Structure 1
Amino acid sequence: GDGVNDAPSLKKADCGIAVEGSSEAAQAAADIVFLAPGLSTIVFAIKTARQIFQRMKAYIQYRIALCLHLEIYLVTSMIIINETISAELIVFIALFADLATVAVAYDNAHSEQRPVEWQLPKIWVISIVLGIELALATWVVRGTLFLPNGGIVQRYGSIQHILFLEIALTENWLIFVTRGGSTFPAFTLVAAIAVVDALATVFCVFGWFSEEIGNEPVPNPMGGFYYNQNRQGMTDIVTVVVVWAYSIGVTIIIAVTYYLLNIVPSLANLGRAKRNIHDTQMENIIGHLSKLAIKHEKDEHGGNQYSLVGKSNDDADDD
């Protein structure tokens, strides 16, 4: 509607639409107000809403997986080897994750072809699997540090900062996985994550916020621990490059897992409201029948003859 007389109907309707140039009363009563002429604004509004929904879903999956990653690893490391990451580094991990994902609001997002809805069971299943994979990847790094030659460490390094760098990189890159691959990420998102990754690398190289545990052997339930533990918590460049390469490999594995989970038939409609496919077919049939009319005429013998014909424009306007 567009006039004052349409305001009551717009208010009563399930979805009132005020067209472009409508009165203030109609706009106040409507649920949707067109700012441009034509029906293309409806398509644009639906597309934009689905893009916003996609950004929200990507962030929620990212956040759940990130939290599970830290919770699973920190709890199991405290229980199994009585070790944890320092509180200062955990704070920076959380801060870096938040700073990087603020740019998600400006990311390029695709719009689904069918109506979207919150499939919470599916979101939880995918997020839990991704969180477990991230925790296992961090445990692999920690496990190599039990080796007599230092495992992933090439010359010297700090356990705390190596784990910090691996966690920061894999968690920041996780948003590239959950956002989907239908569109390229926006420059703002890539730049934000690049800056955060650079800061995490500097933290690791220079050993910022190190606890300065010295050269004493680190407790190891499986045996000796002999590699060079730098007094200031610094890590050599070669080790940092190896951690980066390892994190890239982990991200690729997680991306493959995410893709496979999204094409599993049993998960495709998990959490969606059940709809009968025959309802859509019946709606299409009724739609086609509404365009037809029954034509009555006499045959050559004076009998009644009925046939279905298309409605004229005048008949359609009357309906």
Structure 2
Amino acid sequence: MLIKRSPNGIELPFSSEITPRAVYEGRRDFIRQLAVGAIGSAALMEMAQREAFAQGVRPKLAGKLNPSYSALDKPTPYKDATSYNNFYEFGTDKSEPAMYAGTLKTHPWTVSIEGEVKKPVTLDLDSLLKLAPLEERVYRLRCVEGWSMVIPWVGYSFSELMKKVEPTSNAKYVEFISLADKKQMPGVGSRVLDWPYTEGLRIDEAAHPLALLTLGMYGEVLPNQNGAPVRMVLPWKYGFKSAKSIVKIRFVREQPRTSWNLSAPNEYGFYSNVNPEVDHPRWSQASERRIGEDGFLARKRKTLMFNGYADVAPLYAGMDLKKFY
């Protein structure tokens, strides 16, 4: 064993063996709260997340596998799924979310549900975790840039939340608003988008069983760079439609003005369904590269309509999906 010594002969630990001060102080807070019985499951998850960034481990978040909504494809390696992704609040490069998302504080966290609902409510993480039984679903997710992944997500259908708040007959769309905090998210200081990040769905899309309110992946809580602590996953749409780090959900009468559609309406439509027949103005959408398969030299595969999730086709019966892209 190699022993590292200072010039005066005192043995020193490696930097990787030193507990970060924030984690050490967080442990003391944890013990203090535990002693008075003031810590819930969300607080436990937050403590575990601090440890995760310090020690490279993730707290478990198990869900019962739902085979009806699980792709048979081989899952993307965890390392690839957590180190190559888009999260512009932490930078525009694919590697930057994993590098900088450690600044995101995910507890306390609340999501307010408002607008055209009979029972508006603000839910904390404990409430979200207990709202419905957690399921594991293995979904394909395709990026508009031409790459895809296969990820085991943990959550439950967004329709479970809809049952709780009871949308009125006036609710035609659902708007998702992400956190935008310059202190925690260095990318929010850029002008690449108008913040906060906003996405939207038609009400029937949000109610479809495939629309997943997501709290974990790979049997663990969501890593910060993947949208912790709560996000949407919509496997038949391009990845940017799946809002991350959600703080507000609004049921509204009019179609929401979504971030990428506002930024580049000629490139990003409101629906953004995976449609290999509608090219992006700068590249084809007919094929894709699966991340984790033989590196960047991986053979491209044919892109499927709705990313292969034909169950959603009735939602768009009679629509021109080249016009409503």
- Is the TM-score greater than 0.5? no
Give the structure with the larger helix fraction: 1
Give the structure with the larger strand fraction: 2
Larger radius of gyration: 1
Q: Give TM-score, length-normalised by structure 1.
A: 0.24
Q: Give TM-score, length-normalised by structure 2.
A: 0.24
